[in-house]
Structure 1
Amino acid sequence: MTTRHPPRRTTSIARTGRAPGAWPVLGHLPHLLRAPLRFLGSLPAHGELVEIRLGPRPAFVLCHPELARQVMSDGRAFDRVGPLYEGSRAALGNGLATCPHADHRRQRMLMQPAFRSEHLPGYADAMRREIGMALEHWRPGLVLDMVDEMFALTTTVAVRTLFGGGITDRDIAELRDSLDTFLKGVYLRALLPAVDALPTPGARRYTRGLAGWRTHVTRIVGERRADDGDGGDLLGRLIAARDEAGGALTERELHDQVAVLILAGAETTSSALAWALHLIAAHPEAEAALHAEVDAVLDGRVAGPDDLPRLEWTGRVIREVLRLYPPAWVLPRTSTREIEVAGRRLPAGSTLVFSPYILHRLPEFHPEPERFRPERDQSDGVAPAAWSRASFVPFGTGPHKCIGDTFALTEATLALASIAARWRLRPASGTPVRATPRSVLTPSALPMHLIRR
C-alpha cells in the first residue's frame, strides 16, 4: 500500500500572525505557566512567525523549519542575550550552553577535544558499568518511579564520566539532590524572574538548592584540579585544553562548563529514557521489536559500546522519543540589530523563540505527528532534505547545537537496551502521564511495576 504524505512546500511562505488569548498586562504568561505545550502546539495555526506577549513584551515564535534555521544559524544577529539568558547565566554561569556569541567560539574550541570520537568508547564503558550497577538493585514486583530512577542513573553517569572514579557516592547524591531542587524552579524563574522576591517556601528551596549546587561543584572541581593526572575523564581533558593563543579555561570558566555538562548530561538523557519506558510500555508492537533486538544482541547482559551498531531499533526508539518530547523544548534568542524575519521587520532587542516541540509536530514534515512511530524515516521524501534536517532538531541546530549529542544518544541507547534485555515495565498507576516543563520536558511522575523477563 502506498502511503500518502502531505504535499511538499516548494517555497518558503513568509506568513506572520498573532496568538489570540492574551490577558491584560500578563499577556500569554498564564498559558505558558498553566499549559505551555498546548499553547505552543496551537501556534502554527496562526502563522510561521507568531507574535506572543510575555507580560507587556512581545516575543516571536518560529513555527517553520526555514525560519528556525535562519535564526539559529546566525549567532551574531540572533544572540543569547537579554533578560531570559541573564537569568540563566545568573544560575548556571557563562558556560557553553548559556554564553553569548562573543564567548562561544573560544569555549567550543576548548571543549571540543573532550568530545572527540576516540574518547567515546571510554565514556561508553563507564556508562555500561553504571547502568549495570543501577540494575543490580532492581527486584521483581517492585514499583519504582522511573523519573527518579533515570535521573539518578544519568546524574551518576554524568558525574562519573566528568570526574572519573575518584568521586564518592555521597558527592553524587549531594549534587543530584541540589540539581533536582534547582531544576524544578528554572522554568518558572525564566518566565517570572521576580518570583524570588517573595519569601515563599518554594523560593527558599530554590535558593538553597542553587547554593548547594554551586558549593558542591566548586569543591569537587577544586579537588580534581589539584590532581595532576588526566585520568581519561572529561574534566581532566578540559583542564588540559588550550585555545589558539595557548590559554586555558579560567577557574570560573571551568566551574561554569562543569555545571552545564552535569546539567545537560543528567537532565536531558533521563527525560528521554523516562519517556522511552513509558511509550514502549504503551505500544506492544514497538516493545516486541525492541525485545527481539536486545535478545539477539545482548542475551540478557548489559549493553556496551561494541553493541551500538547492532542496536538499530533501539536507536530508532530513542530518536522518535526525542521527536515527541525534545528535552530542550524551547530556547530564546535576541536580535542584535533590526532584521527581517518572515517578511516582518523586527527591531533590535526582539525576543525570538525556537521550539523543537513545535517543529517536531508539523504534519508537513512528520506525518501523523502525534503518533509514536519508531519506524519513521526523517528523510522519507516528505520534505526537501534541508527542510527535513531543520525539522528534526532535538539537540538544537546551527553553531550552538549541543556538543554532547552523540554522548547523550549513546547513553540513552545503552541504557534502554540494557533495561529491555532484563525487564518488562508496566504502569503502576491509572493516572495519565503528563509532561512537566522544567529546564527540559520530563514526565511529572512515572511509577512502574518491574517484571522480570
Structure 2
Amino acid sequence: MPNLLSRSVFNLFFGARRKALGNLPGPQPGILGTAGDFLGGSPAWDVCARYGREYGGVTLIWMLGNPALVLNDPVLIEQVLDSRRMEFEKGSVSEEIKPATTHHALFIAKQSEDWTAKRRADPFEQPWTGDWLAAQVGPMQAAISQSVEALAGGAPIELTPVLRRLTFDTFAVAAVGEKLPDSVFDDFMLLAKGADARIQAKLPLRFVSLPKGFEAARERFYGHFAERVRKARQAPNPEAADLLARTLRERPGINDEVLAHVIGHVFFGGVFSSSTTLVGAFHQLQKHPEAEQRLAAEAAGLAREKLTLERLRGARWIEAITYESLRLLPAVRIFTRTPSADVKLAGATLPAGSTIMISNQHLHRDPAHWPNPDTFEPTRWLDGGVARDPLGSGHFFPFGRGPRECVGAAFAMVFLRTALATIAARAKVHVDSTEPFEEGFFFGVVLPKGVTGRFVAR
C-alpha cells in the first residue's frame, strides 16, 4: 500500500475525481495511482483475480490520475460485452496490433463503424461454415500426425514453440489446403513480435519502433495469400475443401484483397491462443496420469476408424479435457473495453476513454461456483457439466462473451479436440517438470515458458 505522503499527493491532485467515484471499492492510490500493482512483477491477470477476491465484482483502480475498473462480476461483464456492448469499444489493443493486421481485420473493427458488416461477411459466420468445419477434421488430423511423427523419439524440446508451429501448420491446411513455407511462418512471427512490442510498451505508441524488416514482412505475408487467391481464381478446384477455396465457391463476388487479408488474419486470431491451450493441457495431464491414460484409451479408439466431426463430438473425455484446460489455464485472461462516452456502470459514472479490464481468471476459479477450483478435474464436465457452464457463460468465457466473442471459437474447439485426439493416439507427451510453469505474455496471450518435454511414440 502507498505510504501516507504518496496517498496525500494523489488526493491533492485527483481528490475531486476520486470523490466522484467514492462508492466503488478498490486499493488506496498513491502518486502513481494503483499502477504499482501492475508493475510489481505479478502478471496483470493475477492482479485482477486478486482484486476479485479482495474487493468483489468491481474494483476501482487508478492509472496515475485516470480511473479504471476491473470487473469480476458476471452481471456487469454481461452488460459490457453483450447487452450494453454498443456503449463500449475495444481498448488500446486494437491500435497496438493494427500494424500487423489490415483494415479488413474484424478484431480491430469498431462497433460504431463497420464491425457488424465485417462480422456478417466473415467466412466463419456463413451458413456453410459448419459443413466446411466438418470437412477439416480429416485434413487437420493428417497434418498433426505428420508433425507428431517428426517429433516422436527426438530429444527434449520446448513445447511452446513446437506446438505453436504445429498449430500454424494445421491452421494452414484448413485455410489454404497445405502447410506453408518456413518463410511465411517467419514473416508471421516478425509481424507478431512487432505488435507485441506495442502491446507491452510503457511509452506512447508514437515512440515505439517496429522491428527491422517489418514492412517488407507484412507485404510478403499478405502478398502470399493474395497470390493464392489469384491462382485459385484462375484454376478453381471444385474438390478443394480449404477455407479459401470454399469461400470462392460460395461467394464468387468477394473482393480478392478482402479474402487474402481475412485468410491471413486467421493465423493471428488463433495460433498463439490455441497452442498455449495445448501446452497447458499436456502440462496438466502429466500431473494427472489417470486422466492422461483415459485420454490415450479414447484416442486409440478413435484412431481405429476414420475420424469425423461426429465421432469427435462423441469423445466426451477429450471434450472434458479441452474444456478443463480452457477453464484452468485460459490463453486470454483479460479483455479490455473503453466507454465511447461517459457511462454509468456499477452505480458510478465512468468517463469516456477510461479503461475497463474484464478478468476471467477469478471467475474460472471461483470457489463459490467450482468445487476444487484450482485442481485439473475433467470429470466436472461430464454428466451435464458442459450444459451447466457453456462457452460464453458467466463463469466460463475463454473466448469472450456476447456477439463479439471470438469469431473463430468453433474452429478453435474442433482444432483442439482434433489435436488432442491425434497426438494422444500416436505419442505420449512426457513433460519434464510438473511444477507450475512460468507464464509470460505475447501478442495479448499468455505465454508458457520453460515447459520442456518429449514426444514418446506409442
What is the aligned counterpart of 2:454 among 428, 449, 452? 449
3-state DSSP class of the match of 1:450?
strand
Deviation of the 1:19 alpha carbon: 3.6
Distance 1:436 1:293 in 2: 33
Q: Aligned residues: percent identity?
A: 24
Deviation of the 1:278 alpha carbon: 0.8
Deviation of the 1:156 alpha carbon: 0.8
Q: Which runs of 5+ in 2 are unaligned?
A: 1-22
Distance 1:238 1:387 in 2: 27
Q: Which runs of 5+ in 1 are unaligned?
A: 1-14
3-state DSSP class of the match of 2:299?
helix
Residue identity opposite 2:290 in structure 1:
E
What is the aligned counterpart of 1:78 among 65, 71, 88? 88
Q: Which residue of 2 aligns with 1:345?
A: 349
Residue 43 (1) aligns with residue 51 (2):
yes
3-state DSSP class of the match of 2:80?
helix
Residue identity opposite 2:439 in structure 1:
A
Q: Residue deviations 1:92-117, cap 9 Å, x none?
A: 23411221112111111111128621
Q: In the alignment, is the contact (CA less than 8 A) between 1:71 and 1:78 conserved in 2?
A: yes
Distance 2:158 2:355 in 1: 37
Residue 333 (1) aligns with residue 346 (2):
no
Residue 148 (1) aligns with residue 161 (2):
yes
Deviation of the 1:426 alpha carbon: 2.2
Q: Which residue of 2 aligns with 1:3?
A: none
Cα 1:99–1:115 change in 2 (3 A) is farther
**Within-5 A mapping of 1:97-108:** 97-101=107-111, 102-108=113-119
Deviation of the 1:183 alpha carbon: 3.4
Residue identity opposite 2:141 in structure 1:
R
Distance 2:369 2:115 in 1: 31
3-state DSSP class of the match of 1:376?
helix
**Within-5 A mapping of 1:13-412:** 16-20=24-28, 24=32, 27-28=35-36, 30-31=38-39, 34-44=42-52, 45-73=54-82, 74-80=84-90, 83-94=92-103, 95-101=105-111, 102-111=113-122, 112-113=125-126, 116-140=129-153, 142-165=155-178, 169-170=180-181, 173-184=182-193, 186-192=195-201, 194=203, 206-208=211-213, 211-228=216-233, 229=236, 231-239=240-248, 248-249=254-255, 251=257, 253-299=258-304, 303-377=307-381, 389-412=393-416
Distance 1:70 1:289 in 2: 40
3-state DSSP class of the match of 1:349?
coil
Deviation of the 1:354 alpha carbon: 2.0
Residue identity opposite 2:156 in structure 1:
V
Residue identity opposite 1:347 in structure 2:
P
| More moved, 212-221 vs 101-110 | 212-221
Residue identity opposite 2:269 in structure 1:
A
Residue identity opposite 1:116 in structure 2:
T
Deviation of the 1:330 alpha carbon: 1.6
Q: In the alignment, is the contact (CA less than 8 A) between 2:139 and 2:174 conserved in 1?
A: yes
Q: Which residue of 2 aligns with 1:9?
A: none
Residue identity opposite 2:358 in structure 1:
F
Distance 1:42 1:185 in 2: 31
3-state DSSP class of the match of 1:449?
strand
Q: Residue deviations 1:247-300, cap 9 Å, x none?
A: 74572x44542332111232221111111111101112211221232233335x
Distance 2:351 2:204 in 1: 28
Cα 1:180–1:364 change in 2 (3 A) is farther
3-state DSSP class of the match of 1:59?
strand
Q: In the alignment, is the contact (CA less than 8 A) between 1:29 and 1:55 conserved in 2?
A: no
Cα 1:379–1:64 change in 2 (3 A) is farther
What is the aligned counterpart of 1:437 among 438, 441, 457? 441
Distance 2:391 2:58 in 1: 16
Distance 2:188 2:64 in 1: 29
Q: In the alignment, is the contact (CA less than 8 A) between 2:439 and 2:449 conserved in 1?
A: yes
Q: In the alignment, is the contact (CA less than 8 A) between 1:275 and 1:442 conserved in 2?
A: no
Q: In the alignment, is the contact (CA less than 8 A) between 2:38 and 2:47 conserved in 1?
A: no
Q: In the alignment, is the contact (CA less than 8 A) between 1:16 and 1:46 conserved in 2?
A: no
Q: Which residue of 2 aligns with 1:426?
A: 430
Q: Which residue of 2 aligns with 1:12?
A: none
Q: Residue deviations 1:76-107, cap 9 Å, x none?
A: 11122x54422222332341122111211111
Residue identity opposite 2:352 in structure 1:
A
Q: In the alignment, is the contact (CA less than 8 A) between 1:239 and 1:248 conserved in 2?
A: yes
Distance 1:296 1:83 in 2: 46
Q: In the alignment, is the contact (CA less than 8 A) between 1:339 and 1:348 conserved in 2?
A: yes
Q: Residue deviations 1:169-196, cap 9 Å, x none?
A: 42xx223223334435645522536377
Q: Which residue of 1 aligns with 2:7?
A: none
Q: Residue deviations 1:361-412, cap 9 Å, x none?
A: 222222322111111149979x997999221111111111112212111111
Distance 1:339 1:378 in 2: 41
